[in-house]
Amino acid sequence: MLVDVTAAPTFTSRPKVELHVHLDCSLTRRALNRLGNPIGEAEFRRLYTAPERCDNLMDYLRAIGPSAAALQTAPALAIATDEMMRALAADGVIHAEIRFAPHTHQRGGLSLDQVMAAVTEGLAAGAEATGITAGLILCALRDYPPEANLTVIELAHRWRDRGVVGVDLAGDEAGHPAAANRAVFDRAHVLGLPVTAHAGEAAGPDSLAEVMALLAPARIGHGVRAIESEDLLAEIKARNLHLEVCPSSNIQVGVYSDYADHPIDRMSRRGLSLSINTDARTVAPLSLSLEYRRLAVAFGWQTGEFLAHNLEALRHAFWPEAAKPALGGRLVEGWSG
């Protein structure tokens, strides 16, 4: 147990925004049941979750294999996305940005556009069933050739008006520097696609500085290793870069030993723009409500902190500006009292 939350308040009914959560890390048991694979809870946890403490990020990434293998057909992708939306809604999420790497779902013979059609079908079904809003972020991968990643950028552009809201660079940060994908993200900027990028998790401040300098993202996935550099913290704040922080995930992969050691509270008190995210809802396993309970216990966070970071998440969401005031009103109303 990362933090004993027995005495912590519950947050399920509070409205939330989640900007950093991976589709292939959030496969639900309900989705498998709908796909004709009735699996018990104990077996599901054994097959689809990672150890509570992994040796490193790669140890964690290997645990995604069974979920990825299950998501290689159009029905699987549609149903998994639909069920993920329902799980988000049950957790009190009112807006989410769900990311995935389309080119990792082609082992069953799907084209990239067929992958997108299936995921957007599930997204629409989930939105209709729950009333929440959500967009898709397509991931380029550090260990893939730049030519393959460029294809993902073009795919995001084609599907931008049909569910896609931005692009990301994900994968093994420590083993694959971002420089190889500079031209890929130059193309994303030319096309006007909002950019986020994983950095400052498995590798330190130098990796984060490289991503900021070469890819010019509006948001950073994780970014917590910035705490190791005063200059980097100052630059992040000056640029108004938003950090998509995933505390339990960082601890699970061994970046930090425990919650008390995690820098999210220090970064919050320094006035950095950040949001609270799960990263993964199955591989962890985790919900935002549980993450909030851990933050409340570890750092004494109350409604003020949670509302402020949800409003920051909404402000930096890759979502139409005209739609944000209504969502913001729901956040303020839901966190009052």
Q: Which residues are catalytic?
A: 201
Cα–Cα dist 16/112, whole Å: 31
List all residues 6 or more positions away from 121 whose beta carbon is below 8 Å from its beta carbon. Answer: 78, 81
Q: What one-character DSSP code corresponds to residue 73?
A: S
CB 23 within 8 A of CB 101: no
Long-range Cβ contact pairs of 305-312 (< 8 A, separation 24 or more): 305/268, 306/11, 306/14, 306/276, 306/335, 307/331, 307/332, 307/335, 309/268, 309/274, 309/275, 309/276, 310/15, 310/16, 310/17, 310/275, 310/335, 312/242, 312/273, 312/274, 312/275
Direct distance between the N- and C-terminal alpha carbons of the chain, in angstroms, rounded to an integer: 30
Cα–Cα dist 34/28, whole Å: 10
Question: What tokens does 274 get?
Answer: 């950040």
Q: Which helix (H) or strand (E) holds 213?
A: helix 205-215
Where do we find the tokens 């399920």?
A: 12
